[in-house]
Amino acid sequence: MAGNDWVNSYLEAILDVGQPLDDARPSLLLRERGRFTPSRYFVEEVITGYDETDLHKSWAKAVATRSTQERNTRLENMCWRIWNLARQKKQHEEKEAKRLAKRRLEREQGRREVTDVMSEDFSEGEKGDIVSDVSTHGAKSRLARINSAESMDIWANQQKGNKLYLVLISLHGLIRGENMELGRDSDTGGQVKYVVELARALGSMPGVYRVDLLTRQVSSPDVDYSYGEPTEMLTPRDSENLSDEMGESSGAYIVRIPFGPKDKYIPKELLWPHIAEFVDGAMSHIMQMSSVLGEQVGGGKPIWPSAIHGHYADAGDAAALLSGALNVPMILTGHSLGRDKLEQLLKQGRLSKEEVNSTYKIMRRIEGEELSVDVSEMVITSTRQEIDEQWRLYDGFDPMLERKLRARIKRNVSCYGRFMPRMVKIPPGMEFNHIVPHDGDMEDADGIEEHPTSRDPPIWAEIMRFFSNSRKPMILALARPDPKKNITTLVKAFGECRPLRELANLALIMGNRDGIDEMSSTSSSVLLSVLKLVDKYDLYGQVAYPKHHKQSDVPDIYRLAAKSKGVFINPAFIEPFGLTLIEAAAYGLPMVATKNGGPVDIHRILDNGLLVDPHDQQSLSEALLKLVADKHLWAKCRQNGLKNIHQFSWPEHCKTYLSRITSFKPRHPQWQSDDDDGDNSEPESPSDSLRDIQDLSLNLRFSFDGGSGNDGSMNQEVSSMDRKSKIESAVLNWSKGKDSSRKMGSLERSEVSSGKFPAVRRRKFIVVIALDFDGEKDTLVATKRILEAVEKERADGSVGFILSTSLKISEITSFLASGGLNPNDFDAFICNSGSDLFYTSLNSEDDPFVVDFYYHSHVEYRWGGEGLRKTLIRWASSVNEKRAENDEQIVTLAEHLSTDYCYTFAVKNPAAVPPVRELRKLLRIQALRCHVVYSQNGTRINVIPVLASRIQALRYLFVRWGIDLAKMVVFVGESGDTDYEGLLGGLHKSVVLAGVSCSASNVLHTNRSYPLADVISLESNNVVHAPLDSDIRDALKKLELLSD
């Protein structure tokens, strides 16, 4: 260790990997150069360059060690770490480059294939020249705006007849209407404030009757009791102008749904396994509220949500499932996106992809965002940059393809089953009514005051105590201590610019803290860096960094900065939107902001400041100095901001928002409009069940003529004379598999309503058998054991049975016959992985099944039909060409197993077929929205509608017939088809039979790039494990479904 030769050699390795020091000569040792300062190198070069948060702490410990030998050992270890970090970063960059190249190739191939499909009727307008794009989103574009109070009154009068019910969802963080604890943690930030204010503003808009903001109920000793209240009404800001049409349940409310660990507040990354539980609870609330609103203002008919709006990936995932379960439109606001965050983290080189996934559950988040894009009618963004640079990273969205499809829709030309959500830029709103700008002499004005008082707000004194000269203009930064907020560069720019220091003070409002040691490692690292820079540049008396402030203090902080003729700055590396810039402008503060992200759009509208490169320290200080020194420029920017700020008002935001929603094609449960006399009243006998069908009607719809029925616009009428015979013939053919089920689609949907379907709520519980075995024999054995276990309850009619499988109904008929089972042993059959739903009938032994076509109308949203089928056939052909040996057909379309809403492919060699996630990705790239399921031990592929699945079919039974999900128990194995994970979460009970699985489960489940624990809660009280050869009744007793 003498002479630090080891240390020098490792530092030389660092220099070879990264940027060399000035005048570096590899042949010389570092200490021989005489100009190398280890502390400066490690702090300024290593920490800044590689951003390892705990590196400085390690260095501090090393240099503080008195023992020379121990100090050298620590330095040696540190050098190893840094060298390894540099090497990892280089490896990550190479992998990322390959990944991006592969992605570009896949996107180009997918776009080329879509272009080939639609090329015969392309118009010139669909080819997407660059000039038209620039003109659409160019620098002179402006948001739609309310020009006067009169125009708002005109719009309001047009909405008076509406009684809209809107549902917003925001799951993570602590949400309440007043005294929000913004900045308490990373989950309780700007999104919390935005969704609360959005709900409040929408609840005050004409035409909106009720708004529910659904979030998580938190009853934990670690948080305030208010977060455990089931319901909280959001008081309107301007109650004087409320409509006279307010009713008993009208207005805006926060509704807290209990899900996840009880009595524990957990971060958003740990909420993913509990999403299904929230969906079931939220569905129950929405059903109840729709019924209540129907009684109040709907003439007795339920008022379904006009839209369900998910905020962030977790709420988007939940909104997609709710949209499918209730058949109502969905909206998504991403706020921040997983793919963008993943790319940023990989570029830093500190964490591998696996480590990023483990820490942030990023792959689960990305899949939630992809599903949200599949289902959303509209995706709301704050800026154009979010669309062009962030959403385009997703498989399910391509700006160029979206433009082509939109042009075809306007021309009423077929899109061949392809769908793309509409990306709409609607900047967040603000409430400005309480802010009154003062006109007149700027030297005498106090900027903007809300309620003039004789005493200054306490927060003023808290900030001003830091300044030796409080009369200087105040540069205000309002951001949490996060590296991406770039606060350290701001302090450096201020410290190294003497003219700026002489003219202005700097106020850093960096959240709330008690002690630095109690902060997270990342936040404490940033704060320590700021404090060291203050000391380095001797900025005492010129920089304020108060420890505490309330959310209610923020307006007073803006007022103080405006009163001092100050400037607001946002130096973040990337700012998705920049709500604080709008808030500051409303109080008369000019801005200096990053040119990356949302501030570009804000500046385009407000024109109240300067944009800078956040990496350029000098340009940042020059922009601040220019605004502070030039009073005429300052006054002009202030005036422009106040003049244009109304374009970001909540009324303007809500007007655009509601105009979009009312343009959606209405979607709601079809039986509500087609069966006005439907009755779900209690049956007279406890033996009534799904089996007690007195005729074939069930108020269901059938089709008899051929055709794919994919467009949904080829409806034909069948004369009433042969209606009955066609119904009976269709059901008979369907059940026996004699007629192509592709002819059973949506062409003719006649109704037969001669009988009334009995209610099923008197059932004590429902047993759902969803076992995925390799062979038919094992499935039969397990099914019989389950039936025998509850024979007593089955005999007295207190339990019903549902068989849930990937098989077609004709295969189920053979399956039951081979095991000596009667179809009437079951109440219903969920077939084709959840794309078809059948009930049994006691009417005729020849016609044991009745298909629920209302279920088809419930799940057919965005079904690609024939266009999807042709794409899948081309995919199968390409697989056969690339991987087949001796002209073997690895994947073939199984026409006899396919239906209108399920395209089935037979697989001869599962190992040669790409993973399900690859097929799903390919279809998303081509704008085809569907649910791909690998089943039957990998020997079958079912492609069904995106909103269809076996678990969604169970939710449909709850919505359609009122079957309580909490009284359902689903029997599954330890593994199964690729939709297996969806069967375990939620309010229903689950029994996992040990030893029951398919042998190819490991191969099938490569569809997941995240562990099963990120999807389901393995420790849920609703899940029990039991061997198949054990007493199944004991498992049901543990779930409290059976008593002793």
Q: Transcribe 465-509 into DSSP letters.
A: TT-S-TTS-EEEEE--S-GGG-HHHHHHHHHT-HHHHHH-EEEEE
How many whole angstroms separate alpha carbon 823 and alpha carbon 627? 80
Answer for the pair 957, 829: CB distance below 8 angstroms, yes or no.
no
DSSP, res 302? -
Q: Which pLDDT belongs to residue 797?
A: 84
CB within 8 Å of 984: residues ≥ 6 apart: 970, 972, 990, 992, 1016, 1023
Q: Which pLDDT belongs to residue 60?
A: 63
Consecutive H or E run containing 419 = none
| Lookup: tokens for 148 | 């006067």
Q: Is 1042 helix (H, G, I), strand (E, B) or coil?
A: coil
CB within 8 Å of 50: residues ≥ 6 apart: 82, 85, 86, 89, 348, 349, 350
Sign of the dihedral defined by the CA atoms of residues 634, 640, 643, 647, in that order? negative
Tokens 């973040």 found at = 572
User: Residue 200: which of 653, 518, 677, 670 has the closest Cα?
Assistant: 653
pTM here is 0.78
DSSP, res 663? T
DSSP, res 850? E
Mean pLDDT in each 10-residue stretch from start to end of the chain (1044 residues)?
Answer: 44 44 39 45 45 54 72 73 70 75 82 76 44 34 44 65 92 94 86 93 92 96 94 81 66 96 92 96 96 92 95 97 96 92 78 87 95 96 86 93 90 91 89 60 42 73 94 94 91 95 96 86 88 94 94 90 95 85 92 90 92 93 95 95 89 91 88 51 37 37 37 38 45 41 34 40 84 83 91 87 94 92 90 93 70 91 94 94 78 95 94 90 95 92 96 94 92 89 91 76 61 81 86 89 79
Tokens 């820079």 found at = 533
| Lookup: tokens for 344 | 């940023």
**Given its phi and psi angles, is residue 130 left (phi above 0), alpha (psi -120 to 50 degrees) or beta?**
alpha
Q: Is 922 helix (H, G, I), strand (E, B) or coil?
A: helix
Consecutive H or E run containing 769 = strand 765-769
**Which residues are bridge partners to 106 per DSSP?**
none
Residue 52's CB is within 10 A of a number of other CB atoms, namely 17
Q: Which pLDDT belongs to residue 144?
A: 41
Say what angle helices 68-118 and 399-410 make with each other, to 10 degrees: 30
How many whole angstroms separate alpha carbon 483 and alpha carbon 516? 16
Q: Which pLDDT belongs to residue 732?
A: 43
